[in-house]
Amino acid sequence: MRKIDLKSFTFEEIKEFFISIGEKPFRGNQVFRWIHKNMVDDIEYITVISKGLRDKLKEKCYIDNIRILERFDSKIDDTKKYLFLLNDGNIIESVIMKYKHGISLCLSTQVGCKMGCKFCASTKDGLIRNLTSAQIVDQVYQIQKDLNINISNIVLMGSGEPLDNYQNVMKFLSIIHDEHGQNISYRNITLSTCGVVPRIYDLADENIPINLSVSLHTPFNEERKKIMPIAKKYSIKEIIKACRYYVSKTNRRITFEYTLIEGINDGYKDVIELADLLRGLICHVNLIPLNPIEEYIQKDSKAKSVKTFHKELEKKGINTTIRREMGRDINAACGQLRRNYIDKQ
């Protein structure tokens, strides 16, 4: 018999599960609290329930934990990067960054990724599998316990495409926001997508006010198809339409991620087209200097081009920031650390 993972249940689901095994639903509430608030990782330690019930649970269930394999501390800034080992031997990575306004955690949602963006290290071996909601929340718990801190901001911007693992990501959001657990505000959570249009509509209809970040990287469809295969499926026009819907439903401002690649998307024509495209939409552009990876020969934009791009976009009335580069000395680019680790083994 395959055992059931207690950590993957939402608050509602765990109550249902307890009813289904002939127990009182409030026992489920208690177990949820011990797993998600106290971050207990063994049924034996859930001492709020009787030994008898713990033994009964142990027969049918387990708590899925991920294990810290290695931690890398940046010497340049306060960025820390973790490699985690999953129970099936797979490896994922998470990054923790300290900003003036608090601590932000960047989580992975899949092992690998099938989206195939040319500049991204996470996708080079394709998708291996989806993470369960337990394996996404546990990145938060393991890091909180390791550093003895409370995390207030989460970005789903690590390896994987969160909208390609929709159900588990929705469960993760429910669990991490739950007042019986970590109670992290939806407004402090950002989901980043390469533009899986139908799922953007679904997300808008969930009625959860998380921030949506869309990896646009160029305002031109043909150029986008060259660097992001998903562009062959959904046009930029369709993405913008979905974003308008998202804003209308959630009242949240959209962020467009824009990785600057020398000679590819950092010219004046790109600024003009981008400003035209985004006019009238409640949004913000986040410029990211390309973090070079071995498999992609293009270079990051020159510092001067980044500055000019920023200035010109602002002049055209588009709210723009440049993402501070963090942890470059510890391979902080998406999926780079895991790849290097696996290659070395």
Residues noted as catalytic: 93, 334
Cα separation, 337 vs 73, whole angstroms:
12
Instruction: Tell me which stretch binds ligand SAH (CB under 6 A): 55-63, 75-83, 178-186, 190-198.
Output: 190-198
CB of 2 to ligand SAH, least distance (A): 30
Structure tokens at 27: 């026992």
Site residue total, ligand SAH (CB under 6 A): 18
Residues linked to residue 83 through DSSP beta bridges, in sequence order? 70, 93
Structure tokens at 201: 């509509």
- Residues near 157 by Cβ (< 8 Å), separated by ≥ 6? 106, 107, 190, 192, 213, 334
Which region, judged by CB under 6 A, interacts with ligand SAH, from 113-121, 167-175, 203-211, 248-256?
113-121
Quick count: other Cβ atoms within 10 Å of Cβ 237? 10
Closest distance to ligand SAH from the beta carbon of 227 (Å): 9
Q: How far is the CB of 88 from ligand SAH (least distance, A)?
A: 22
Euclidean distance between CA atoms 19 and 114, whole angstroms: 38
Residue 189, interface with ligand SAH (CB under 6 A)? no
The answer to whether residue 333 forms part of the interface with ligand SAH (CB under 6 A) is: yes
Among 57, 63, 83, 117, which residue sits at the site for ligand SAH (rule: CB under 6 A)?
117
Residues in 206-225 that interact with ligand SAH by CB under 6 A: 215
User: Is 39 or 115 the residue whose CB approaches ligand SAH more closely?
Assistant: 115
| CB neighbourhood size of 150 (10 A) | 11
Burial label for 317, CB within 10 Å (0-12, 13-18, 19+), is: exposed
Interface pattern 138-177 for ligand SAH (x via CB under 6 A): -------------------x---x----------------
Amino acid (one-letter) located at 99: Y
Q: What is the DSSP string of 167-222?
A: HHHHHHHHHHH-TTTT---GGGEEEEES--HHHHHHHHHTT---EEEEE---S-HH
**In the set 193, 211, 301, 331, which binds ligand SAH (CB under 6 A)?**
193
Q: Among residue numbers 21 through 60, which ones bind ligand SAH (CB under 6 A)? A: none
Min dist. Cβ of residue 86 to ligand SAH (A): 18
Closest contact distance (angstroms) between CB of 82 and ligand SAH is 16
| String marking each residue 252-271 x if it binds ligand SAH according to CB under 6 A | -----x-x------------
Residues lying near ligand SAH in the complex (CB under 6 A): 115, 117, 119-120, 157, 161, 192-194, 215, 257, 259, 288, 290-291, 293, 333-334
